[in-house]
Amino acid sequence: MLPINKILQKVLLGSVMGILAVGTAQGQDTRPTWRFGASGAANLNFYDGTTQRLNNSLIVPAAFHKGFGVRPYGSVLMEYRPAGVFGAMLNLAYDDRGGKFDGVMAPCDCPATLKTTLSYFSIEPALRVNAANFYFFAGPRVAFNLQNDFAYTQLKQPNTDAELSDMRKTILTGQVGVGYDYQFSSPNSNTKFIISPFVSYHPYFGQDPRDIESLTITTLRTGIALKFGKVAKVETAVPEVTFVVRAPKTVPVKRQVSETLPLRNSVFFDEGSATVPNRYVQLTKQQATDFKEVQLQNEQTETRQGRSARQLNVYHNLLNILGDRMRANPSARISLSGASAKGAEDGKAMAESIKSYLVTVFNIDGSRIATEGRTKPLIPSEQPGGTKELVLLRAGDQRVDIQSASPELLMEVGGGLMKPVQIISTQVDPLDSHVVLNVGSEKDPIKSWTIEAADEQGVMQHYGPFTSDQGSIPGNSILGNRPEGDYKITMRGETKNGVAVTKESTVHLVSQNEVVDKGYRYSILFDFDKEKSIASYDKFLTDIVSPLISEGSTVIVHGHTDIIGDEAHNNTLSRNRAEQTQKIIQAALTKAGKTNVKFDTFGFGEDPSQTPFENNLPEERFYNRTVIIDIIPAK
């Protein structure tokens, strides 16, 4: 059998863990400094020592030693709980320490029992140590004896009910304990109702209830305190929040776009395979004879502003584009660098599979194609010491990179990519048809927010939730089949400190007739988690993109990332990329004397409703690490 102290330790530990388990689910609220209330508890009293002389007229034949009892405890209380770590408590209590001793056998072979009724009026001041709603307390206990009855029975003897003699009138001892404050009142109420489960331990030393013999009592108390308190009526400070709504003058239905699509110079392989994946378009020798890169420029499908299967299809023709360009430029040479986590030999096998395709299908002289193998690509996504999302990062490093010094294959300026492909596409619901919303608060940032759009008849539409400080809603989604309309836009948000915020604005939307605008789109790509590589595109943005922007044009610059990494970090990363891109273009326009150009610049991060591609394949994630520049000429 475990000693009493061991039992108490286990019970106390279990009680503390129970309080913590439930307490971690509770939130914090405004706390009153002074609390008043009452508590109720059960005293688990453990008896030890020797008890044989019950009073001056009765000495029992067999001494009692061990005993146990569960008795009531009740108090009125007062607490001082300031904002800091330390506070104070005071309980004035009825405190019952009664119990029943383990039965003994008298010398006459007669069973004997002894019960006690020991009760006190206790004064219990304590120091309180606060840790949010969880608290510790410790302090003295001064107890004044109220009752000291006993009931003794022995077989073949009359029962004896009397009072224990030699009782101490006053006992000075101590206690330690833990508790948790659950606040159940409304945050807006200045009267707070608090329920506090608690556990306290009263050790045996100092708890000798008699002047004779050696009876000691160790007590474990577990109970609940009910407390009330008031706080000063403080109006919740609503942080200064900006809410800017920008609506297009007209909501275009479609836009035809001449897009310069950067051609990523990498072929991504499936793990454990050195064979070119089936998603890359591979032709027969006869089909290769008729293939021309220009075939990919013709429009095939309409696409929404975001995802584009068309662009991905162009990229998946990478080997055929490469073969067509090498066939048209006999002096061009390439180097294929294969990287595989299985080793350099496997990486080279991947590179050889691409070389074999170009040689066999497009009749490219093998001497024009060098191959090598590595365990890591020249610019790896996985960084030393990284521990998060390694599966996605390693999938992006299982690839063959295509390198060349031939200008017919490389991008004219910047980026180190292959020469881009020109394609024509029609965008449905382009980005400049969106109602753009910006929410900001410096002191208490907005955690999440939703949008309500109500028309003149009060018909409501709901959008969100949004978690970044920027969002957009397609104008056609709000208008529906209506040619135009006035809308009340209401933002309802919550700050990181839990403050509710409401802001309102209005917009007037007009649907543009079924007329297809024309525009231009350029994209620049980034390596994983990089933003400073924007400098490599300086000449491209200055010499190629900026001259196409005429006076009165609108330029929409939007940055995106893949799904790897923290969402907040990706929002910042995409915005930084977009803003740096705008600065380069704006400087070139200013130098050229063009000042009447409107910029809309966004950082959408990994927002799945805005990303150009899905995030299932490594090439999709690589293409999502981008800044897209949409140029909309003045009408």
Phi first, then psi, for residue 120 (nearest 5°) are: -140, 155
DSSP secondary structure code for residue 388 in this structure? S
The reported pLDDT for the residue numbered 338 is 94
Q: In this structure, are 349 and 395 located in the same domain?
A: yes
Residue 45 falls within a domain, yes or no? yes
- Is the predicted pLDDT of residue 167 greater than 70, yes or no? yes
C-alpha to C-alpha distance for 42 and 70, rounded to whole angstroms: 6
Domain finish residue from 464, 487, 510: 510
- Is the predicted pLDDT of residue 15 greater than 70, yes or no? no
Q: In this structure, are 193 and 60 located in the same domain?
A: yes
Q: In this structure, are 110 and 208 located in the same domain?
A: yes
Query: Alpha helix (H) ranges present in 523-634?
Result: 538-540, 567-591, 618-624
pTM of the model: 0.58
| Residue-range definition of the domain harbouring residue 546 | 518-635
What are the Cα distances from residue 359, in Å, to 253, 274, 338, 540, 618?
46, 17, 17, 33, 26
Q: Burial of 284 by CB count in 10 Å (0-12 exposed, 13-18 middle, 19+ buried)?
A: exposed
The reported pLDDT for the residue numbered 259 is 84
The reported pLDDT for the residue numbered 514 is 58
- Is the predicted pLDDT of residue 498 greater than 90, yes or no? no
Domains held by the chain: number: 4
In one-letter notation, the amino acid at residue 201 is: Y
The reported pLDDT for the residue numbered 264 is 87
Q: What DSSP line would sit under 253-300, residue for residue?
A: SEEEEEEEEEE--EEEPPTT--SPPTTS----HHHHHH--GGGGGS--
Residue 374 falls within a domain, yes or no? yes
Q: In this structure, are 135 and 190 located in the same domain?
A: yes
Partner residues linked to 437 by β-bridges:
245, 471
CATH number for the domain that contains residue 216: 2.40.160
- Is the predicted pLDDT of residue 443 greater than 90, yes or no? no
Q: In this structure, are 551 and 450 located in the same domain?
A: no
CATH number for the domain that contains residue 342: 3.30.1330.60
**Of residues 387 and 360, more confidently modeled:** 360
Tokens 């007037």 correspond to what residue? Answer: 508
Cβ neighbours around 44 below 10 Å, total? 19
> What do you get for the CA distance between the two ends of the chain, in Å?
92
Task: Of 299-303, 332-336, 485-489, 568-572, give the lowest mean pLDDT range.
Answer: 299-303
Residue 55 falls within a domain, yes or no? yes
Confidence of residue 411 (pLDDT cuts 50, 70, 90): low
Residue 258 falls within a domain, yes or no? no
Q: In this structure, are 177 and 283 located in the same domain?
A: no
The reported pLDDT for the residue numbered 181 is 92
Q: In this structure, are 487 and 588 located in the same domain?
A: no
Which of 382, 269, 381, 261 lies closest to 336 in space, CA to CA? 269
Phi first, then psi, for residue 518 (nearest 5°) are: -125, 145
The reported pLDDT for the residue numbered 97 is 96
Residue 261: both structure tokens together: 């699509």
- Is the predicted pLDDT of residue 567 greater than 90, yes or no? no
C-alpha to C-alpha distance for 100 and 117, rounded to whole angstroms: 9
Q: In this structure, are 376 and 500 located in the same domain?
A: no
Residue 259 falls within a domain, yes or no? no
pLDDT in tens, 599-624: 988 888 888 878 888 899 999 998 99
Q: What percent of the chain has a predicted confidence (pLDDT) above 90? A: 51
Confidence of residue 150 (pLDDT cuts 50, 70, 90): very high
Q: What is the mean pLDDT of the chain?
A: 85
Considering all CA atoms of the chain, what is the largest pairwise distance in Å, rounded to the nearest integer?
A: 124
Q: In this structure, are 60 and 207 located in the same domain?
A: yes
When pLDDT is averaged across residues 451-462 and rounded to a whole number, the result is 92
Confidence of residue 24 (pLDDT cuts 50, 70, 90): very low
Residue 237 falls within a domain, yes or no? no
Contact predicate 473/480, CB 8 Å: no
Confidence of residue 445 (pLDDT cuts 50, 70, 90): confident
Q: What DSSP line would sit under 164-195, residue for residue?
A: -SSB-SEEEEEEEEEEEPEE-S-TT-SEEEEE
Residue 166 falls within a domain, yes or no? yes
Q: In this structure, are 37 and 98 located in the same domain?
A: yes
When pLDDT is averaged across residues 560-571 and rounded to a whole number, the result is 88
The reported pLDDT for the residue numbered 324 is 92
C-alpha to C-alpha distance for 536 and 532, rounded to whole angstroms: 9
CATH number for the domain that contains residue 481: 2.60.40.10
Residue 255 falls within a domain, yes or no? no
The reported pLDDT for the residue numbered 96 is 97
Residue 57: both structure tokens together: 């007229």
Confidence of residue 308 (pLDDT cuts 50, 70, 90): low
C-alpha to C-alpha distance for 245 and 505, rounded to whole angstroms: 7
**Of residues 24 and 38, more confidently modeled:** 38
Q: In this structure, are 79 and 196 located in the same domain?
A: yes
- Is the predicted pLDDT of residue 19 greater than 60, yes or no? no
HEC profile of 42-91: EEEEEEECCEEEEECCEEEEEEECCEEEEEEEEEEEEEECCCCCEEEEEE
- Is the predicted pLDDT of residue 175 greater than 80, yes or no? yes
pLDDT in tens, 105-135: 998 889 999 999 999 999 999 999 998 889 9
pLDDT in tens, 298-307: 654 544 444 4
- Is the predicted pLDDT of residue 474 greater than 80, yes or no? yes
- Is the predicted pLDDT of residue 169 greater than 50, yes or no? yes
Q: In this structure, are 224 and 105 located in the same domain?
A: yes
C-alpha to C-alpha distance for 52 and 60, rounded to whole angstroms: 6
Task: Of 166-180, 374-388, 453-467, give the lowest mean pLDDT range.
Answer: 374-388
Task: Of 170-179, 395-404, 517-526, give the lowest mean pLDDT range.
Answer: 517-526
